[in-house]
Amino acid sequence: MQDFSILIGGSAGSGVDKSALVLGDLLNQNGYRVYIYHDYPSLIRGGHTFSIIRAAQTKITAHRNRIDFLLGLNKETLDMHKTRLGDSGKVICDSEILKEAALPQQIRTLAIPTVKLVKEENAPEIMRNTCLIGAFAKAAGIKIELLEKVLRENFTKGIDTNIRIAKKGYEASELMESIQPPVQDILPLISGSQAMGLGLIKGGLEVYVSYPMTPTTALLHFLAEQASEFSLKVVHPENELSVILMALGFAYAGRKTAVGTSGGGFCLMTESLSLSAMSEVPTVIVLGQRPGPSTGLPTYSCQSDLHFALYAGQGEFVRFVVAPGDLEEAYYWSASALNLAWKYQIPSIILTDKNLNEGISNFDVNDTGEIKENDPYLWDGTTGYRRYEDNKTGVSPLAFVPNENAVIKVSGYEHDESGITTENADVTKKMQDKRLRKEKYLAEELKSFPTVKTYGDEKQTTALLCWGSTKGICVEIAQKLGLKVIQPIVLSPFPEHAFREAIRGIKKLIAVENNATGQLVRLIKAHGIDVDDTILKYDGRPFTLDELEKMVKEKIA
């Protein structure tokens, strides 16, 4: 099988996510490229959760609606997802569940007595998923030795019991479809959160501060796990107000700091975002988008906070906003965002979403590009120190407390070059001009970065316009349909010249976005560039490959 999908589902708390990781690793170690999508409600127990694991010959970052294997931990999974099965679809589940389910006759089924087999080992019920994994391995023609190896690598507790139960499932199973794995290098499977965390570390991160808020919670957990390895300080304060203020305090003391949040938390941070701009204390905010307004759908995804990120905060100030589209870009731009924030002493916002943060796929560090190291402009100590010294670039020298030779005064009030508060009209204009002057030099430096990327047939006159996590699925469809893809990555300051070069010769531009109002369309329209058509989805779920392909075909017909 060259391209196939597995769906495993059950109630929240039944180990579906862990099972998906094991299945993904099993296929990855067989040589496939893998993508894992998680779908779950905002519940700790109960409700329905499922994961789709797609395997293909080449790198993928999207899932299909159609599935080939359905692994059900409960009857609800079969009831909800049986319509996804293709003509040759296969179902593997417990014998009793299969009796209750009214499945179409053409669907091949495999009944495994998971409850009985788990009880024989006096094991907890949650290990039924391990039994199903064993059954799938046999059904797909995967060797038992590889199954055991993967289980040992993925479990830290109850390893021997899990292996015994998986082997029981394997023995109770039968061959249903012999997969034919490709021969290629095995690449690590990681999530977008892990890629961002590694990128921030590469950029010199010293402190990470965050209050758990989906979808950036996984980034907090990952960096906490890596804290001792990389000498990081990872702090979980009581709320988002404390997060951003604590981060600014660390940065004032000279520590490269980043924070993570989602829309509701970013709302609370906006006043301090302006404080970062006025005080010229750098900060990096990882903003994981999810559907709103208000609480919205806390465990689902969207791309509806672009304009919030672009315009949040009072007053006018320079900010860097970037929206990576895959793991390699998440790694590269997280490091770059941290470096640029410190070089220009501005806030940087990494705009992401659940699909990128929690999606799991293969990561190739060789495809990330060379990360430029931008050292901050530090005070040399030879002259009197002025924290907000006016100069050609608008970037003043940095000094950090404690320093016996310098008075380091920062202020959220308008101030003069020494940081002394003022309401003088001339000084106010001078200092605002100084702060805004940074954008010119930032924009000029960004010309040497891959701020806009293109894919597909460069000679095509029809192109898909995408940003953020819609990149991968647009590229895959464009390759199949012979289209071009245009992906702006940096969104502020907007790389207008690079974008106009990318759309040169395009006669039909179709925007693909996970929001209801076409937020990227509105942004580029502000730069005098029109889009011919839009494909928008805003139900909290990402586009599936087969769904978007149909929509694109309708637009280009």
DSSP SS3 for 175: coil
Helices and strands, counts by H and E, the chain: 19, 20
User: Which run of H or E residues covers position 478?
Assistant: helix 471-481
CB neighbours of residue 180 within 10 Å? 11
189-367 classified as CATH 3.40.1710.10: no
Separation of alpha carbons 246 and 63, rounded Å: 39
Alpha helices by DSSP H, listed for 176-314, are: 192-202, 217-230, 240-252, 263-279, 306-311
Q: Helix (H, G, I), strand (E, B), or coil: what is residue 202? A: helix
Can you tell me the distance from the alpha carbon of 242 to that of 251, in angstroms, rounded to the nearest whole number? Answer: 14
* Per-residue confidence (pLDDT) for residue 134, from 0 to 100: 97
Mean pLDDT of 391-412: 94
List, for residues 307-330, the tens digit of each pLDDT value.
Answer: 999 999 999 999 999 999 999 999
Residue 305 has pLDDT above 90, yes or no: yes
What is the model's pLDDT at position 226?
96
State percent of the chain over pLDDT 70: 100
Same fold, 3-172 and 452-556: no
Distances (CA, A) of 93 to 40, 161, 170, 427: 20, 20, 13, 73
106-131 pLDDT, tens digit per residue, is 899 999 999 999 999 999 999 999 99
pLDDT at residue 266, as a whole number: 97
Question: Does residue 386 contact residue 418 with C-beta atoms inside 8 Å?
Answer: yes
187/326 Cα distance (integer angstroms): 15
pLDDT(245) > 90: yes
Nearest to 489 by CA among 461, 517, 470: 470
Going by C-alpha positions, the residue among 210, 209, 448, 438 that lies closest to residue 345 is 438
Q: What is the pLDDT of residues 50-98, one digit of tens each?
A: 999 999 999 999 999 999 999 999 999 999 999 999 888 999 999 999 8
Per CATH, the architecture of 3-172 is what? 3-Layer(aba) Sandwich (3.40)
Asked if residue 20 lies in contact with residue 7, where contact means CB atoms within 8 angstroms, the answer is no
Question: What is the tens place of the pLDDT at every residue in 333-382?
Answer: 999 999 999 999 999 999 999 999 999 999 999 999 999 888 899 999 98
| Distance, CA of 375 to CA of 372 (rounded, Å) | 10
User: Could you tell me which of 255, 194, 248, 246 has the C-alpha nearest to residue 224?
Assistant: 194
Quick one: tokens of 390? 């006016």
User: Domain coordinates of the chain in residue numbers?
Assistant: 3-172, 189-367, 452-556
pLDDT at 506: 97
Q: What is the pLDDT of residue 373?
A: 84
Closest CA to 427 of 411, 446, 443, 438: 411
Burial of 540 (0-12, 13-18, 19+ CB in 10 A): middle
Q: What pLDDT is recorded for position 45?
A: 78
pLDDT per position as a tens digit, 471-527: 999 999 999 999 999 999 999 999 999 999 999 999 999 999 999 999 999 999 999
Dump pLDDT digits (tens) for 156-169: 889 999 999 999 99
Half-sphere exposure of 540 toward its Cβ, with a 13 Å CA cutoff? 16
Q: Is 15 left (phi over 0), alpha (psi -120 to 50) or beta?
A: left
Q: Return phi, psi of residue 221, to 5°.
A: -65, -45
Please state the rounded mean pLDDT for residues 542-547: 97
CATH of domain 452-556: 3.40.50.920
Rg (CA), the chain: 26
The set of residues, in sequence order, having a beta carbon less than 8 Å from that of 162 and lying 6+ positions away, is 127, 130, 151, 155
Q: Which residues contact 521 (CB under 8 A, 6 or more apart)?
A: 465, 511, 513, 531, 534
Q: What is the pLDDT of residue 173?
A: 96
The whole-chain average pLDDT of the chain stands at 96
